[in-house]
Amino acid sequence: MADPLAQLDATAQAELVRSGEVSPAELIDAAITRVQAVDPQLHAFTTMRFDRARDEAAAELPNGPFRGVPFALKDLSCTLAGEPAYDGVPVLKHEDWRAPVTSNLASRFRAAGLVIVGRTSSPELGIMPTTEPLAYGPTHNPWDVTRTPGGSSGGSAAAVAGGLVPFAHASDGGGSIRIPASCCGLVGLKTSRGRTSVGPASDEIARPLSVQFALTRSVRDAAALLDAVAGNDVGDPFTLAPTASSFVDALRLAIAPLRIGMMTTMPGTLDAADPECVAATEATARVLEAAGHRIEVAHPEAFDETERMTSFIPIWSAMATSNVIAIERKIGRPVVPGDVEPLTWLLAEMGRTTNGGELMDAMAAMGAFSRRFQQWWADGWDLLLTPTLGELPPELGVLQTPEQPLVGFGKGGTFTPFTPVTNQTGQPAISLPVGMSASGLPIGVHLIAATGREDLLLSVAAQLETAMPWADRRPSVHA
């Protein structure tokens, strides 16, 4: 029998607790029952913490905006002290490695009143745009279990889209929030660099590409959760000026007519993205135009610079090397090829050939590119509209190719041509599930704003959510 709570977003579930209609314990028991019933079809979770979750729900929870609401943490970076943190890595799973600290963001999730029921699957170290780690096997897309849910936050996306939890933690180093949002029909907000803290164990300077936030079903959940967790912690190297109003208030503000560029060609080419992805983008443009915004076919010239990837790859591979060094520190011995996946080993080997001067040169090139790219917003544009993905979600096994690791890695580039750029520049972006393909797969569109303008993204997202509603859509695998 279907669980009616599975139909509700997190804001609605929190209201049930505030009104006394449902207790936190009842919400958590219902979520655990859904996970037990449905996750065998999805493989979204890697580790469960059901007993701890029940104990926490029965205790005195913080009186935050989401008191008692079930939540999940992606098994990458967002740690709980003394609890498993495997990052999708076989050797860390084998050694049952436990995190020494609770991350700043996990602390803020808890302060918001959330109760964490488990950790969700990630490709090893978050490297791939599909969630098929060798340590756990593939996570399945609830809309079509033969297809990828995206990555690297694919476990969280499958759990939310399947109704197991109303929202879940996610991170984004090249599109890892927005890719699975598009694949699974969710709202995926990638925040500005520095909007949420990645400390104390990580660092935004050494790892400038990745941010952490969440995957949600509704725009209002994204806004309310960002209000709860945004802000700096001790030692954070980046700070952002506070917005004029709360993110929830931004949803209700009247939006002045915006100047929006639209891009449907693959960066650096004249080739269009998949026709159904283009059609969803053009349909969104018509809705925005009807709302009074000015839409033009235009995008930053810098987006077509193929050289930008020559700085991305050295940084990405150096991060793989750094990750392997961190794993060695955790297990107390050198990592050997069987400890990690073939792609990780290959990228780490590439990273070892990059000397310090070359890495600094790549970082400088990325910074210069970022200035050229962001000049477009300084010149008077408000948003850039693109498809989220270059094509529909491929079948499982197309992107994860351990026998020939670079084959799948290369295919990931045509799958995700529009998302990595904002990880280089630090700008916020959002994927919204406005479309459906003829084959019944969700299609996301992608909006990019100037740094610090999550409020604008959420305002426009709320406008689109009203005009192009998606709340009533349900995948074939759903609680």
**Residues with catalytic function:** 74, 152, 176
Q: What is the 3-state secondary structure (H, E, C) of the chain?
A: CCCHHHHCCHHHHHHHHHHCCCCHHHHHHHHHHHHHHHHHHHCCEEEECHHHHHHHHHCCCCCCCCCCCEEEEECCCCCCCCCECCCCCHHHHHHCCECCCCCHHHHHHHHCCCEEEEEECCCHHHCCCCCCCCCCCCCCECCECCECCCCCCHHHHHHHHCCCCCEEEEEECCCCCHHHHHHHCCEEEECCCCCECCCCCCCCCCCCCCEEEEEECCHHHHHHHHHHHCECCCCCCCCCCCCCCCHHHHCCCCCCCCEEEECCECCCCCCECCHHHHHHHHHHHHHHHHCCCEEEECCCHHHHCCCHHHHHHHHHHHHHHHHHHHHHHHHCCCCCHHHCCHHHHHHHHHHHCCCHHHHHHHHHHHHHHHHHHHHHHHCCCCEEEEECCCCCCCECCCCCCCCCHHHHHHHHHHHCCCCCHHHHHCCCEEEEEEEECCCCCEEEEEEECCCCCHHHHHHHHHHHHHHCCCCCCCCCCCC
Q: What phi and psi, each to the nearest 5 degrees, are found at residue 367?
A: -65, -40
d(CA 114, CA 106): 10
